Amino acid sequence: MSAWGSVLITGCSRGIGLQLVKQLSESSSRPANIIATARNPAGSAALQELSRTCPGVHAVTLDVCSEQSIFSAVEEVQFIVGNQGLNCLINNAAVGSSSSINSVTREAMMRAFQVNSVAPLFVTKAFLPLLQTAAARSTGMGVHRAAVVNISSILGSISLNCGDSATFKSYAYGTSKAALNMVSRCLAADLGPVGILCVSLHPGWVKTDMGGPHADLTVEESVSEILSTLVSFTEQDHGGFKDYRGQTLPW
């Protein structure tokens, strides 16, 4: 039996989101439904190709900052998953930026918070009934039952990015991911009792448009480890901040 039921991922037009869809669709324990959302699915030839050629891959329009778009996506996903509900929501979509004390602007801060911190909360709220449906059908804790995975960043770790040890200071990005980590903790407190696992997960430094060409990991390496880690999560990992290999990170 597959470890996965139905999985929804945000930001699948490129980068880590697209690779999650690709590797899940190639997996021997392929989820029943891989709901690959993007704000403009038609603009990603790679996503179009996956949804055309891989059974169970559904390309769905979702701009994580638009209430109307979220509402439409929930209706569409409800139709796809039916009474089985949604087992795993991966909040992956984000915007990156580098902003020093000299260059940071109000607009950059607000944009980062809107996409990276506020949107994952409201996307989760909107899909909660579908996650609860899935949670009610199973026992234990993990992606087999119901889970919210917030793709965070080590740059959101306050204890690892303080003082002289901070190598990359981005006011907008770092603070938005620290806020996302708090969202994960709050969700963990609220959703744990109904059996929904909640975690923040750092994917490593990855060669994508955001990570750049000098990053440590290829997107294939990162996603392969992320998927192994996700299926290994149990109650013990609930409310944690983990990296792609499942190691605990300090907040």
Please give the residue ranges that form the binding site for ligand NDP (CB under 6 A).
10-11, 13-17, 38-40, 63-65, 92-96, 115, 151, 153, 202-203, 205-206, 208-211, 215
Where in the chain does DSSP place strands (E)? 6-9, 33-38, 57-61, 88-91, 147-151, 197-202, 241-243
Report the interhelical angle of 171-191 vs 119-136 (nearest 10°): 30
Task: Name the residue nearer to ligand NDP (CB basis): 68 or 236.
Answer: 68
Count CB neighbours of 250 within 10 A: 9
> With respect to ligand NDP, which residue has the nearer C-beta, 24 or 151?
151
- Provide, rounded to whole angstroms, the least separation between the CB of residue 17 and ligand NDP: 5
Residue 112 to residue 177: CA distance in whole angstroms: 9
Question: Minimal CA–CA distance to 227: which of 45, 17, 62?
Answer: 17
Please say which residue, 33 or 200, places its beta carbon nearer to ligand NDP. Answer: 200
Looking at beta carbons, which residue is closest to ligand NDP? 15
Identity of the residue, 72 or 132, whose beta carbon is nearer to ligand NDP in the bound complex: 72
In terms of CB distance, is 57 or 135 closer to ligand NDP?
Answer: 57
Three-state secondary-structure class, residue 167: coil
Report, in Å, the least distance between residue 247 CB and ligand NDP: 14
Look up tokens 């002289």; give the residue.
164
In whole angstroms, the minimum distance from the beta carbon of 63 to ligand NDP comes to: 4
**Residue 4: HSE in the Cβ half-sphere, 13 Å Cα cutoff:** 25
Q: How far is the CB of 37 from ligand NDP (least distance, A)?
A: 7
- Encode burial over 62-84: b for 16+ CB neighbours within 10 A, e otherwise: bbbbeeebbeebbebbbebbeee
Radius of gyration of the chain (CA): 17
Nearer to ligand NDP, 5 or 17 (CB): 17
> Closest distance between ligand NDP and the C-beta of residue 200, in Å?
10
User: Chain-centre distance of CA 100, in angstroms?
Assistant: 26
Quick one: 39 or 238, whose CB is closer to ligand NDP?
39
Closest approach of Cβ 194 to ligand NDP, in Å?
25
Least Å distance, CB 138 to ligand NDP, is 27
